[in-house]
Amino acid sequence: MSVHSVPGDAPGPQAHAINASPAPDPPLLSVVVPAYDEENRIGASLKRMLAYFDAQDYTYEILVVDDGSTDGTVSLVEKIAACRPQVRLLSYASNRGKGYAVRYGMLRACGARLLFSDADLATPIEEVEKLLAKLNDGCDIAIGSRDVLGSELVKRQSLLRETGGKMFNRLVQLCAVPGIHDTQCGFKLFTQGAARSVFSRCQVDHFAFDVEVLYLAIRIFGLRVAEVPVRWAHQEGSKVRFFRDAWRMFKTLFRIRLTRYEPPSASPELHPR
């Protein structure tokens, strides 16, 4: 029970006692799922995530960020959210890009740990436990990787995509984030402090945003990033078009490298956990 004094009233026994429900505790884990025209698979993915997290001993929320979908994505997620309070729908009017959608969700999530996961669950949601363990060991960020020892590629991409991805990553290591073998896996976990620091400064709205996220984390903030081997299976229906998007991603890489990002805060607590 909390006691509130009405303005102008004297404190004491004449003040009114008002019952107020305490604010709910924030969840341990927030899962941000960017979604653009995902009507055909978002329902099954949410069902799988809900079933998995219901069986865990920690609290969670799932934020689906609708990136201007033109199909039935919004109505489908709304129906699920009406039955499951752990699911929230965030949306805006027009398509802005995956990077914008992830940033929009990460800056509105409430959890102590913030995961973003692709809607197709190419990396199974169960793999989050590997990433959580790294944060519990003291890392600020843990990223799923398809290209380190211990990873398991259940279904590979086409040879063209796989070769192009390897070429892009070599350039990324030279220009932006040396030592990271796979920047593009859509399965990354952050402490709340790391997420707020990094995503509040991100500028890239499309698929190359992962490079900017890791560049900021490592080169600007000096955060501790663990690359974690995960299971991964290529899913049909990717919004990335190799020839259309490759040149834009290469241009964005150099733009990231040349951008003068705002320096870290002078606050002594750079790594709130």
Q: What is the CATH number of the domain that holds 185?
A: 3.90.550.10
Residue 212: inside a domain: yes
**Within a 10 A sphere around the Cβ of 241, how many other Cβ atoms?**
9
Residue 18: inside a domain: no
Per-residue confidence (pLDDT) for residue 243, from 0 to 100: 54
pTM of the complete model: 0.82
Q: How many structural domains does the chain have?
A: 1
- Phi and psi at residue 4, to the nearest 5°: -115, 130
pLDDT interval class at 14 (50, 70, 90): very low
Per-residue confidence (pLDDT) for residue 159, from 0 to 100: 64
Residue 14: inside a domain: no
- Going by their DSSP bridges, the two strands 231-233 and 152-155 should be labelled as parallel
- Going by their DSSP bridges, the two strands 60-66 and 2-4 should be labelled as unpaired
Residue 209's domain comprises 24-258
Can you tell me the distance from the alpha carbon of 127 to that of 260, in angstroms, rounded to the nearest whole number?
35
Residue 4: inside a domain: no
Per-residue confidence (pLDDT) for residue 240, from 0 to 100: 55
Per-residue pLDDT of 204-242, as tens digits, reads 998 789 999 999 999 999 999 999 999 988 777 555 555
Residue 267: inside a domain: no
Give the chain's mean pLDDT. 84
- Among 205, 214, 220, smallest CA distance to 252 is for 205
Residue 157: inside a domain: yes
Higher pLDDT, 42 or 160: 42
Can you tell me the distance from the alpha carbon of 45 to that of 97, in angstroms, rounded to the nearest whole number?
20
- CA 34, chain centre distance (Å): 8
- CA 103, chain centre distance (Å): 7
Residue 6: inside a domain: no
Per-residue confidence (pLDDT) for residue 22, from 0 to 100: 56
Please say if the pLDDT value at position 13 is more than 80.
no
Residue 130: inside a domain: yes
